[in-house]
């Protein structure tokens, strides 16, 4: 199911589920204007094709005691593919690292980290991240507040682009 093969109903299904992944199939079918059985078939096809990677609860980190959020910009000594892959694998194993993105430019990776407090983050920073093999530099920025945090993609932009290209 290539991107060009997604019809308007498939895109509506994705947009609705992105906003509320817990709705029933009957409610989803009502919102997108089809009956429940074909809606369920479409959802399963979107899952199998990889458009839907999973369903997750939006957990409030602060209510769970994770008061600190930090972005860490990491520079590596070597950018050879084996070294990049090794760093990515190491990031997958660090529980405090919630996101890891390889970048183009001065910084090789940006990591989104959460911790219950600054001392926990500092122990991770000095004991694990800066001490990791191939890490040349780490610059951190503490998040003061979040003004916007939306999941997924802006379907309205996709629809506008598709309508413009018709």
Give the 3-state DSSP-derived string for 45-106, with helices as H, strands as E and coil as C.
HHHHCCCCCCCCCCCCCHHHCCCEEEEEEEEECCCCHHHHHHHHHHHHHCCCEEEEEECCCC
pLDDT score for 4: 53
Q: Within a 10 A sphere around the Cβ of 61, how many other Cβ atoms?
A: 14
In what helix (H) or strand (E) does residue 141 lie, and over which residues does it extend?
strand 135-142
C-alpha to C-alpha distance for 33 and 9, rounded to whole angstroms:
8
Q: Where in the chain is the domain with CATH 1.10.10.10?
A: 3-57
* 62-142: in CATH 3.30.70.920: yes
Report phi then psi at 24, rounded to 5. Answer: -70, 160
State the pTM of this model: 0.86
Please, what are the averages of pLDDT over each run of 10 residues along the chain (166 residues)? 75 96 97 98 97 93 96 98 98 98 97 98 98 98 95 90 81
Give the helix, strand, coil percentages of the chain, each rounded to 5: 45, 20, 35
Q: How many CA atoms lie within 13 A of 66 on its CB side?
A: 16
3-57 fold: Arc Repressor Mutant, subunit A (1.10.10)
Q: Where in the chain is the domain with CATH 3.30.70.920?
A: 62-142
């Amino acid at each position: 199911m290539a991107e060009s093969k997604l019809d308007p109903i498939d895109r509506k299904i994705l947009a609705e589920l992105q906003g509320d992944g817990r709705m029933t199939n009957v409610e989803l079918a009502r919102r997108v204007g089809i009956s429940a059985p074909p809606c369920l078939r479409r959802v399963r096809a979107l899952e199998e094709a990889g458009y839907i990677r999973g369903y997750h609860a939006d957990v409030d980190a602060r209510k769970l005691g994770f008061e600190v959020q930090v972005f860490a910009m990491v520079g590596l000594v070597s950018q050879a593919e084996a070294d990049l892959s090794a760093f990515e694998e190491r990031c997958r194993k660090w529980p405090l690292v919630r996101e890891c993105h390889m970048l183009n430019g001065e910084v090789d990776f940006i990591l989104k980290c959460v911790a219950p407090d600054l001392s926990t983050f500092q122990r991770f920073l000095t004991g694990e991240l800066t001490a990791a093999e191939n890490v040349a530099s780490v610059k951190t920025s503490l998040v003061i507040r979040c003004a916007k945090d939306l999941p997924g993609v802006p379907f309205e932009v996709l629809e506008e682009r598709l309508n413009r290209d018709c």
